[in-house]
Amino acid sequence: MKRMLTSLAWLTMGLLTLSGCGEEKETTATAEAAPQQTYEWKMVTTWPRNYPGLGMAPENFAKAVNEMSGGRLKVKVHGAGELVPAMGVFDAVARGAVEVGHGAAYYWKGKSPAAQFFTAVPFGLNVQEMNGWLHYGGGMELWRETYAPFNLVPFAGGSTGVQMAGWFKKEINSVEDLKGLKMRIPGLAGEVFQRLGGVPVTLPGGELFTALQTGSIDATEWVGPYNDLTFGLYKAADYYYYPGWHEPGAMLEFIINKEAWESLPPDLQAIVTYATRAINQDMLDEYTARNNTALKELVEKHGVQLRKLPDDVVDALRVASEQVIQETIAEDEMAKKVYDSFKTFRDNVMPYTAISEEAFLKIREGK
């Protein structure tokens, strides 16, 4: 009887164990079979679709997110004018008509004067310094605070590095030559240009060639050799000036509708976050690789007159820039908060930049 009871006990335990294993396998199989939620986003941009550099950043972002998420988050890119006008990106994302946008923050200075500090500040930070301020100097937190009232979550979206001063139909030999000149130049730089007697105009990239060719504008800044060559701006203006005093480290942006962002599970939020960081660096890599080849073509093949802005013009632009910035931050509390952080970071980073990047460039040139 004892042996019988013992055998019965072991048999019962075995059946319970097998039953448990069956339930575990069934639960695991059910979990694996349960479909994960998928998301489909629309992205609008301020650039023509597939435009080199600027326009490829949204495409590369969409591809990266799709691949990393295994198709759980798909982003369809629409270029400027396809769903909304180039300058309608901010509003479209803010109201939730689309989930994400790509553009430049200084286009939205009418929404918030502080926004323009997140694209470029004349005589401000270069691209390495700008990335440092945004990601490790408190800039990103301020950017999100600036955009919070508009239902937007911003991310750094790529940088072109130091830009060119622009294309001009006539030579610039003095500050007097800027007076009355109609130039496409947005953001703080446009106000600086106006301070010196110029007439700033804001136009999307797709309209620049026609405006310059027809005489609607006398000059334009765009990006640099790589992009300027693709737009054929050399066909409408002979003089190409440097350095890019106005955009020393032009930063672009991804903006995401807050509700759309919060609807994503944590793993997809992480994928989006790291995709933006990757694209942010990738754009700079491309411009670094392409600009010099494009510049050689502009000068050697198309006969473009490459000129350096006269020192007195640069000095006048620097003085006017400081005046415009001080007036801007005096009129807007958020702009002051952002610029105070920006300036503190710039003042702290400049000494090291001087003995690292600047010093190396000089010895590389034998100076």
d(CA 81, CA 97): 15
Over the stretch 75-91, which tens digit does the pLDDT of each residue have?
999 999 999 999 999 99
238 pLDDT exceeds 50?
yes
Identify the residue whose tokens are 């930063």: 251
Asked if residues 252 and 119 have their Cβ atoms less than 8 Å apart, the reply is yes
Identify the residue whose tokens are 């054929």: 232
d(CA 118, CA 111): 13
334 pLDDT exceeds 50?
yes
Over the stretch 138-171, which tens digit does the pLDDT of each residue have?
999 999 999 999 999 999 999 999 999 999 999 9
Asked if residues 151 and 158 have their Cβ atoms less than 8 Å apart, the reply is no
pTM, rounded to two decimals: 0.88
Confidence at 31, pLDDT banded by 50, 70, 90: very low
Check residue 195 and give its pLDDT: 96
Check residue 6 and give its pLDDT: 44
Q: Where are the domains of the chain?
A: 39-159+249-288
What is the H or E stretch that residue 56 is in? Answer: helix 56-68
Helix axes 127-136, 139-147, angle to 10 degrees: 70
Q: Average pLDDT in the 352-363 region?
A: 95
Confidence at 9, pLDDT banded by 50, 70, 90: very low
**Which CATH code of 1.20.1250.20, 3.40.190.170, 1.10.540.10, 3.65.10.10 fits the domain covering 39-159+249-288?**
3.40.190.170
Look up residue 210 and give its amino acid: T
Check residue 36 and give its pLDDT: 85
